[in-house]
Chains A and B, each alone.
Chain A
Amino acid sequence: MNPIAQYNFAYLDEQTKRMIRRAILKAIAIPGYQVPFASREMPMPYGWGTGGVQVTASIIGQTDVLKVIDQGADDTTNAVSIRAFFAKVANVATTTRTREATIIQTRHRIPEEKLTTGQVLVYQVPIPEPLRFLEPRETETRKMHALEEYGLMHVKLYEDIAKHGEIATTYAYPVKVEGRYVMDPSPTPKFDNPKMHMSEALQLFGAGREKRIYAVPPYTEVVSLDFEDHPFAIQTFAEPCALCGAEGVYLDEVVLDDHGGHMMVCSDTDNCEDRRAHGHVGALGQTLEAAE
């Protein structure tokens, strides 16, 4: 191969990894606080997980086992692409099984299976600033965080209730971390918010384009914002997963035809497959063995 262009192990150079690790440590020390870091250009586009990839690249070791999900699934194209990237540049073991992974990089979901001590969940974050759509200026929002001035957010939530009768935020639902910082949980559905609370796993958030890293250390209080008379509630689904029959999990609607036919299936494909492997069958499904 022509030696015109060569890349370092795990893509990032060691100085960069050190810089990112320092940012991560600061983020862990101040839960929910957005730490600015000198985000690098990555070989995938900004907005496609560059923050998460930089965090993963900085913490991954040769014995780690990596799982990458997008929309809860291991086989969505961008998850496949990021997993293949790490398999190539870091030569690490990869898995689709939640419980086998030491690092799980995710976009838009938290796995259904409870994460445990020693696991790290790395979120890809597009817009880290929960106040951004209320105040576009970074100079202002940083001041608001510093002064713990979150009145604007509560007014926004109240206006939702006044207009719609409820808080009309279904994903990227703002949380308060350890009673101090209001934080964007990344665009996960609010269904996943309770999983962040007192999680045994370390949760790291990387926003590459916006150059911010933040963290929720294990056993940290994460509370979804609400009002006493309008308590926070997660989404519920009327029917179970059509493939594995799971209830109390997040479901995707799959369109079957062009006159309203649809089925609801698990968003977390690993969880769904695991259940089917253990003999659970939904209304339209069959066990894995029968399907193969």
Chain B
Amino acid sequence: MYVAVKGGEAAIANAHALLADRRRGDRSVPALRLDQIIEQLGLAVDRAMGEGSLYDKELAALAIVQSRGDLIEAIFLVRAYRTTLPRFGFSNPIDTGEMRIERRISATFKDLPGGQLLGPTFDYTHRLLDPALADGAEVRAAPSRPGEPERAPRVTDMLAHEGLIEPDGVDTGEIGDLTREPMQFPMGRDLRLQAMARGDEGFLLALAYSTQRGYGRTHPFAGEIRIGEVEVEMDVPELGFSVSLGRVRVTECQMVNQFKGNAEVPPQFTRGYGLAFGQAERKAMAMAMCDRALRARELGEDITAPAQDEEFMISHLDNVASTGFVEHLKLPHYVDFQAELGLIRKLRAEHKKAQTPHPAADAATLSPKRRGEEAALGSKMEAAE
């Protein structure tokens, strides 16, 4: 006899115990420490910090180990913690021109003040699995150049001297924060950039790629990509001056794009901007391309492609929102399904009634098995009515 399913509470507790067990895995293998994750899975930590939008390596590492390495789950954990933190104010804009540079490349100039610095990049590595790593081989310290690095002004600042590129936007002093205010369309570029900085790397990558393949083409050049640490400062009204909060590592990408000009504006280069916590070059580049594509309305371009469509892009780029809603289909829906079952049965009954003048023709087109099902359903429907 049917007994209403009880014990959801016990089932959940047991499932979570099993999850914890699987997370820990074979107990004869040492448990991961947070410092190991921070030191050796640094780019995963960077992604969890970036899309989690909270700069804290230790918390990101904790989230990664707690999520068994599922980075979207880790990002979710970081976000759910971040959201509870009180907001004291806004920092001053970081000055990436004063970055302590670790990597800096420009695809538009062969050489430039500050030089091209490859830094710790996967570029030009041959993607051959390295068996030595599997054995935990010692790694030599990397060579370093002595002395202070040369100043490296931003490429866009150099182009600006000739008026060849649009200037930086006007500083209105006020920037939006979509984690504190309701999101509404149309939105300013500041909010779009914030949404993209928190947005899913895979989504931005795919949409940036789509612009290269002709869906909202923007003719980008990688003006500059730079990675390094910048100082974060905040104005303290009580003190009357700004204080340093510390340093964060960021990746900045400035795309330089063609623009033919219009009635008011002479032909000049336009920009797409990308910024992400840590070393996140793919993310920053994709973001810069999407930023430029999303400026279509502002620049009077035809909006024809998904990457140019603000409401489409901003509504769907967040992986925490996307994964939640896609995965919520796992939750029970049997009340609504029951309602649909009732409707389908009713519509089928009416359909069948309409078909009755030709019962022979109907029967001929149905397989014997199918006919049996129809009969069973028919009798059930009569019972239900």
Is A168 interfacial (CB 8 A cutoff)?
A: yes
B336-385 interface with A by 8 A CB criterion: 336, 338-343, 347, 350, 376-377, 380, 383-385
Chain A's nearest CB lies how many Å from the CB of B313?
A: 13
Q: In the complex, are the beta carbons of A46 and B184 less than 8 A apart? A: no
* A189 CA to B339 CA, complexed, in Å: 6
State whether A238 and B384 are in contact (beta carbons under 8 Å apart), knowing that A171-B336, A209-B324 are contacts in the complex: yes
A246-279 interface with B by 8 A CB criterion: 250-254, 256, 259-260, 262-263, 265, 267, 269, 272
Choose among A4, A15, A251 the residue that contacts B338 (Cβ–Cβ < 8 A).
Answer: A251
Chain A's nearest CB lies how many Å from the CB of B376?
A: 5
Choose among B182, B311, B336, B342 the residue that contacts A139 (Cβ–Cβ < 8 A).
Answer: B311
State whether A13 and B323 are in contact (beta carbons under 8 Å apart), knowing that A168-B347, A251-B338 are contacts in the complex: no
Q: In the complex, are the beta carbons of A37 and B2 less than 8 A apart? A: no
Q: In the complex, are the beta carbons of A187 and B336 less than 8 A apart? A: yes
**Per-residue CB proximity of A106-124 to B under 8 Å, as 1/0?**
0111000000000000000
Chain A's nearest CB lies how many Å from the CB of B146?
A: 38
* A186 CA to B148 CA, complexed, in Å: 62
Stretch at the interface among A77-85, A97-105, A145-153, A217-225: A77-85
Choose among B1, B7, B339 the residue that contacts A190 (Cβ–Cβ < 8 A).
Answer: B339
B159-191 interface with A by 8 A CB criterion: 178-186
Chain B's nearest CB lies how many Å from the CB of A57?
A: 11
Q: In the complex, are the beta carbons of B4 and A75 less than 8 A apart? A: yes
Choose among B7, B58, B323, B380 the residue that contacts A4 (Cβ–Cβ < 8 A).
Answer: B58
Q: In the complex, are the beta carbons of A80 and B12 less than 8 A apart? A: yes
Q: Which residue in chain B gives the minimum CB-CB distance to A170?
A: B339
Q: In the complex, are the beta carbons of A211 and B183 less than 8 A apart? A: yes
Stretch at the interface among B80-88, B96-104, B236-244: B80-88
Is B9 interfacial (CB 8 A cutoff)?
A: yes
**Per-residue CB proximity of B208-228 to A under 8 Å, as 1/0?**
000000000000000000000
* A48 CA to B327 CA, complexed, in Å: 9
In the bound complex, residues from chain A placing their C-beta under 8 Å from that of B377 are 260
Q: In the complex, are the beta carbons of A170 and B2 less than 8 A apart? A: no
In the bound complex, residues from chain A placing their C-beta under 8 Å from that of B195 are none
Q: In the complex, are the beta carbons of B9 and A80 less than 8 A apart? A: yes
In the bound complex, residues from chain B placing their C-beta under 8 Å from that of A254 are 2
Is B33 interfacial (CB 8 A cutoff)?
A: no
The count of chain B contact residues (Cβ–Cβ below 8 Å) is 63
Q: Which residue in chain A gives the minimum CB-CB distance to B343?
A: A170
Q: In the complex, are the beta carbons of A41 and B9 less than 8 A apart? A: no
Is A126 interfacial (CB 8 A cutoff)?
A: yes
Q: Which residue in chain B gives the minimum CB-CB distance to A171?
A: B336
* A164 CA to B351 CA, complexed, in Å: 9
Q: In the complex, are the beta carbons of B8 and A40 less than 8 A apart? A: no
State whether A38 and B339 are in contact (beta carbons under 8 Å apart), knowing that A13-B84, A209-B324, A256-B2 are contacts in the complex: no
Q: In the complex, are the beta carbons of A75 and B380 less than 8 A apart? A: no
* A79 CA to B8 CA, complexed, in Å: 9
State whether A209 and B336 are in contact (beta carbons under 8 Å apart), knowing that A45-B328, A260-B376, A265-B4 are contacts in the complex: no
Is B331 interfacial (CB 8 A cutoff)?
A: yes
Q: In the complex, are the beta carbons of A70 and B2 less than 8 A apart? A: no
- A43, A172, A250: which has the most chain B beta carbons within 10 Å? A43
* A50 CA to B321 CA, complexed, in Å: 11
* Those 6 A-B pairs whose CB atoms lie nearest each other, nearest first: A46-B324, A36-B182, A47-B328, A45-B324, A170-B339, A47-B325
Q: Which residues of A contact B (CB under 8 A)?
A: 4-5, 7-8, 11-13, 15-16, 36-43, 45-48, 50, 70-73, 75-81, 84, 107-109, 126, 137-139, 164-165, 168, 170-172, 187-191, 209, 211, 235, 237-239, 242-243, 250-254, 256, 259-260, 262-263, 265, 267, 269, 272, 284, 291
12 A-B pairs in the complex with CB atoms less than 8 angstroms apart? A5-B62, A7-B81, A13-B84, A15-B87, A40-B179, A42-B83, A48-B331, A77-B331, A107-B331, A170-B339, A171-B340, A260-B377
